[in-house]
Amino acid sequence: MGKILAAVAMLLLGAAPLAAEEFPWCVKLDAFTQNCAFANYNDCVAMAASATSPATGVGRCIRNPSYQAPAAAVRPKPAPAKTASPQR
């Protein structure tokens, strides 16, 4: 029981304002409580498994709707390879 309370306290105290959330994964407990401080899905699932809400039960992982990948992480697709025309 103490671990559950500690996990919920971490979620509530660690929650940042919506504008400051810059990670792609969130633990969502209910309509008003979520923590978007997870860079990968596995970390999110680990926290969600130990977090509970009276309204919804266990926490669940969702993609952060406010997350925008850094410009450096987005790479354009390479141009298709040119094929040589047959020579006569």
Q: Is residue 81 part of a domain?
A: no
What is the rounded average pLDDT of the residues 75-86? 70
How many domains are contained in the chain? 1
Q: Is residue 43 part of a domain?
A: yes
Q: Is residue 20 part of a domain?
A: yes
pLDDT (tens digit per residue) in 14-45: 554 445 548 999 999 888 888 999 999 999 99
Q: What is the pTM of this model?
A: 0.53
Q: Is residue 78 part of a domain?
A: no
Domain with 60 in it: 2-67
**pLDDT attached to residue 4:** 61
Q: How far apart are CA 39 and CA 2, in angstroms?
A: 26
* Distance from the first to the final alpha carbon of the chain: 81
Q: Is residue 88 part of a domain?
A: no
